[in-house]
Amino acid sequence: LQLVESGGGLVQPGGSLRLSCAASGFALDYYAIGWFRQAPGKEREGVLCITSRGARTNYAASVKGRFTISRDNAKNTVYLQMNSLKPEDTGVYYCARSVHGSSCNLSPREYDYWGQGTQVTVSS
């Protein structure tokens, strides 16, 4: 079972990035997936999550209107589209598999498998 993030990098404030989370070793369409981030010296925080069939999402207030999450179960991939990026969005971004399918929340305790993370740096 594996989750692999990609798409991170350096971007200027106001720019955009799209992160991908490729899943293997399990049937993605049974599980909700979440994106989390961790800045240096800070706790890991939930950003967005999406239920197994994409019917519902949940998001942190700090990314409302700027970030969206989507999934393509046929490609075993979940995406995080990040627009209007700010320096405070800098951190390592992780995707994780929820223990639930038809609901999701942003508590890390509700997730059992994690990717290795991808670095996002927002700086001029």
Give residue-wise pLDDT tens across range 28-81.
Answer: 999 999 999 999 899 999 999 999 988 888 889 999 999 999 999 999 999 999
* pLDDT at site 33: 97
* pLDDT at site 102: 92
On average, the pLDDT of the chain sits at: 95
Contact assessment for residue 79 and residue 70, using Cβ atoms and an 8 Å cutoff: yes
* pLDDT at site 82: 98
* pLDDT at site 55: 85
